[in-house]
């Protein structure tokens, strides 16, 4: 039954692609250029450096520096601080990839990995500040959008901590290690780790590019095939792929409504980012459904925070 449904869906998509070949071609080109010109040069250096740090077992040292603040703020273990830092500095899906790697190495347990995943995996700071804040909204202080998205994620984390506390549970249920390299284990060679990190980063980001192109095509077809008010069309496209839909939302809903909608869509990240995250989590048993629920919650929180800000100001 599932195979029949899947075959029907895929067949329908192929027919739609055949009906709208120009929209498919233009959207695929747009997605490819976005990946090549924006995503790849932005994320590749972070991915390689982060992989080298984990490969050489240096996460413990970095975590030790930020642990006094992050451990108390989020209630996580010391090694759990590292993916939080990576997620804040980079963007989708490196935060999730770092969580998955540390979980597979046994440095954090499943409960903590799932908890950190819900708030560390966001759009990159440059995307939120430069594209959303400046290019789309024309804000004089574009960092406000970054703060709204991050604050919404942190608010969701505090809600989860409160639930854990009510249940009498702690988030890190196993003691953290001092680093990812155990005593008596020789450190791998730097060149070998670098080679593996480069290969791993290119493989991961190639998958990311595939998802970006696919969802850009779907977004382009939605814009082409459905006749509906522009605000609804822009919102639907943003749910699929935020980069493609953001400009449409601002054009259809200028002013406060546009601010609130873009804050929510940026915090959610689009189904494209969810698919990218699912890809890097595919070799773990971490729940993508729970992650999706957390991102929807973050989007709603971001809308609420932004609405309060624009109402007050």
pLDDT tens by residue, 205-259: 898 889 889 888 988 888 777 677 888 888 898 999 888 788 788 888 777 888 9
pLDDT tens by residue, 26-77: 989 988 998 888 788 878 888 898 888 888 888 878 888 899 999 989 999 9
Percent of the chain with pLDDT over 90: 36
pLDDT score of 180: 43
DSSP for the chain, written as a single string: -HHHHHHHHHHHHHHHHHH-HHHHHHHHHHHHHHIIIIIHHHHHHHHHHHHHHHHTT-HHHHHHHHHHHHHHHH---STTHHHHHHHHHS-TTHHHHHHHHHHHHTSS-HHHHHHHHHHH----HHIIIIIIIIIIT--SSTHHHHHHHHHHHHHHHHHHHHHHHHTT--S--SPPPS-SSPTTPPPPPHHHHHHHHHHHHHHHHHHHHHHHHHHHHHHHHHHHH----HHHHHHHHHHH-HHHHHHHHHHHS-SHHHHHHHHHHHHH-HHHHHHHHHHHTTTS---HHHHHHHHHHHHHHHHHHHHHHHHH-
1 CB-contact burial (10 Å; exposed 0-12 / middle 13-18 / buried 19+): exposed
pLDDT score of 115: 95
pLDDT score of 233: 86
- What pTM value is reported for the model? 0.86
- Is pLDDT above 60 for 204? yes
């Amino acid at each position: 039954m599932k195979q029949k449904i899947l075959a029907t869906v895929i067949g329908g998509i192929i027919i739609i692609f055949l009906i709208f070949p120009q929209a498919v071609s233009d959207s695929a080109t747009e997605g490819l250029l976005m990946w090549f010109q924006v995503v790849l040069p932005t994320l590749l250096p972070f991915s390689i450096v982060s992989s080298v740090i984990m490969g050489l077992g240096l996460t413990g040292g970095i975590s030790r520096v930020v642990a006094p603040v992050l451990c108390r703020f989020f209630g996580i273990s010391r090694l759990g601080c590292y993916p939080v830092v990576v997620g804040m500095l980079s963007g989708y899906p490196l935060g999730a990839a770092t969580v998955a790697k540390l979980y597979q190495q046994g440095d954090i347990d499943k409960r903590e990995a799932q908890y950190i995943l819900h708030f560390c995996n966001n759009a990159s700071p440059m995307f939120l500040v430069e594209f959303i804040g400046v290019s789309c909204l024309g804000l004089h202080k574009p960092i406000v959008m970054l703060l709204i998205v991050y604050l919404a994620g942190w608010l969701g984390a505090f809600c989860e901590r409160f639930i854990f506390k009510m249940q009498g549970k702690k988030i890190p249920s196993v003691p953290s290690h001092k680093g990812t390299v155990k005593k008596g284990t020789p450190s791998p060679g730097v060149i070998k780790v670098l080679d593996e990190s480069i290969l791993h980063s290119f493989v991961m980001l190639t998958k990311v590019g595939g998802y970006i192109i696919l969802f850009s095509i779907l977004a382009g077809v939605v814009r082409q095939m459905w006749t509906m008010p522009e605000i609804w069309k822009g919102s639907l496209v943003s749910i699929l792929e935020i980069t493609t839909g953001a400009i449409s939302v601002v054009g259809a809903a200028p002013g406060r409504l546009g601010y609130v909608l873009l804050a929510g869509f940026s915090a959610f990240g689009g189904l494209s980012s969810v698919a990218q995250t699912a890809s890097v989590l595919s070799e773990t048993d971490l729940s993508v459904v729970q992650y999706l629920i957390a991102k929807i919650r973050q989007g709603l929180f971001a809308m609420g925070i932004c609405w309060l800000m624009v109402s007050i100001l």
